[in-house]
Amino acid sequence: MQGGGSSRRMTERSLRGKAAIAGIGETTYYRHGQSPDAEFKLALQAILAACRDAGIDPREVDGFASYGGDRSDPPRLAAALGIRELRFSNMHWGGGGGGVAAAVANAAAAVHAGMADCVIAFRSLAQGQFARYGRGAQSSAATGDDAFLAPYGLMSPAQRFAMKITRFMSDHAIRHEALRAIAMASYHHAQTNPRAVMRGRPLDEAKYDASRWIIEPFHRLFDCCQENDGAGAVLVVPAERAKDLPHRPVYLLGAAQGADHRTAAPVHNAPDYASAHFKTVARQMWAMAKLGPSEVDVVQAYENFTGGVLLSLVEHGFVDPARANEELVLENLLAPGGRMPMNTSGGNLAECYMHGLEMVNEATRQLRGTACNQVPGPEVVAVLGGPMVTPVSSLVLGTEATL
């Protein structure tokens, strides 16, 4: 009897519909090193923009959640903003954008659990002020895992992931053209997005095919994300609060983070190596959301590298690897009419590499009906966080009709 009661309570432990994104904000997005402002100032600008969008006094914010080792820490933000009471400070482990959805989910968990009422999830990056990602550290001796990698010239994020992609593409006979379609969709959408760094720089097949190799066999220049300066933020509040705020609430339907079995096994020994490591995370996310990939109207899939997007789409059930060559063609990926409109603001490749936070903002805009490449009447949008960068995370957002 007691067991039954406890398992009933277990099934009720969910964030579905409990929290909402009430405000979104971002700075001007810059090419790397081009921001006139310091990283911390960018963070403040994005947070103030999200509060303004939500119609909430920034002093009312009582929590911050971020990821990727963001350098703008909550006590410093709270001091700068004159926040009255800081109740929740949260950093999701892992590099890059693996934690983008987790940061939003952690903010939602905090407001649902009563630990805070008004939490900012954010990312700030000024890569001119700090180090670049695309080059290895310049130290003379490599330690830990790197002792077995760096002496062989394996140092960059692209290199850490490239052999996963080589193996997966080879196993499933997926052609490079499938990755080209992913890159072209992002660049296509960026052309109508005034925020996009790559607006005015369209990409066609010839330009892609002529672009230089970063890594053979599947990483041309346009398969790789940019590095950018800027910041983005969303304001997360309890669902009931969101109803009284200016915008149509965008509800969190499902979210999950983590990794499957031994993804961080040393020196490229993860048992399921040729993976973005979303298999368990996606299952948990869909279960919480009580829906599946066929019910999603728009997808935002984090591009660190286009091969990672392919793996994300497969592991969330959006693409069958046996049909990837047919399904991943440009017309299927475009807003408004494609079968699976994807990265509708330009994504990391062409809007801004804001470690996926720009994708949460775009998902919110799509559900509000205010996106620059608006899909007609979407009710469910999925945001797939940075692939391969465990602990990875994903989320599903929905309109009130989905509750």
Evaluate whether 358 touches 345 at the Cβ level (below 8 Å).
yes
Residue 373 CB, nearest approach to another protein (Å): 31
Q: Which is nearer to another protein, 7 or 138 (CB)?
A: 138
Please state whether beta strands 228-238 and 88-92 pair in parallel, antiparallel, or not at all (unpaired). Answer: unpaired
Residue 305: name the closest of 390, 388, 212 by CA.
388
Place of tokens 């903003």: 81
Residue 226 CB, nearest approach to another protein (Å): 14
Q: Which is nearer to another protein, 120 or 183 (CB)?
A: 183
Q: Which is nearer to another protein, 158 or 225 (CB)?
A: 158
Sites of contact with another protein (CB under 8 A): 134-156, 158-159, 162-164, 166-167, 170, 212-217, 262, 265-269, 273-274
Residue 365: name the closest of 386, 345, 348 by CA.
345
DSSP assignment letter at 253: E
Residue 270 CB, nearest approach to another protein (Å): 9
Residue 375 CB, nearest approach to another protein (Å): 35
Q: Which is nearer to another protein, 42 or 155 (CB)?
A: 155
Evaluate whether 194 touches 372 at the Cβ level (below 8 Å).
yes
Rg (CA), the chain: 20
Q: Where in the sequence numbering do the catalytic residues fall?
A: 302, 353
Angle at 135 between CA 72 and CA 152, to 5 degrees: 130
Residue 275 CB, nearest approach to another protein (Å): 12
Q: Which is nearer to another protein, 146 or 400 (CB)?
A: 146
Q: How far apart are CA 294 and CA 297, in angstroms?
A: 8
DSSP assignment letter at 255: E
Torsion sign across C-alpha atoms 291, 347, 216, 127: negative
